[in-house]
Amino acid sequence: MLARVTEIMRELIESPVDTMPLPVAELARRRWMAGNESGPIVQLELMDDGKRGIIFAIMARDGSGPLRASFMTMLLLEDTIATSQTPFGVCSGEATVTIYRYVDLASVSKDELCRVLTNFAELADLVLGDYLPKVAPTPPAATAEFA
């Protein structure tokens, strides 16, 4: 199982596909990220049983943006508890806010994994978007013409 998911993620890194609009990168042997600094960074971390994974996104409360820390590191540093809600959980610490979801990877296909990661990225953007760095809006052009 671990080898199959690792192979799928390697393929997404080396040969991006249309069904996965986010850039994918390997962070550790069993942990990958999808996304960039413009939004929440979605991470997939494989569990020890090789059949499940945890998808999560961590955002700094101070508005400095997304974090790439592992889920366990975040729990230990924040000294917080992960509240388990179905299907998503939340960890709210003093410095970060994290949302997460456990996923069954026993028979996941490449397309299914892309869809799960993309859907979670959209959810993370809605839930954690207020913690993104603030960017001043661009004023409309003074000479804009309307038909």
Query: For residue range 72-102, what is the model confidence (pLDDT) as tens digits?
Result: 888 777 777 777 777 888 888 888 889 999 9
Give 67's pLDDT tier (boundaries 50, 70, 90).
confident
Average pLDDT value for residue range 2-16: 91
CA distance 70 to 28: 9
pLDDT at 143 > cutoff 80: no
**What are the residue boundaries of the structural domains of the chain, listed by start?**
2-131
Its pTM stands at 0.83
Q: What is the CATH number of domain 2-131?
A: 3.30.1460.10
Average pLDDT value for residue range 12-23: 91
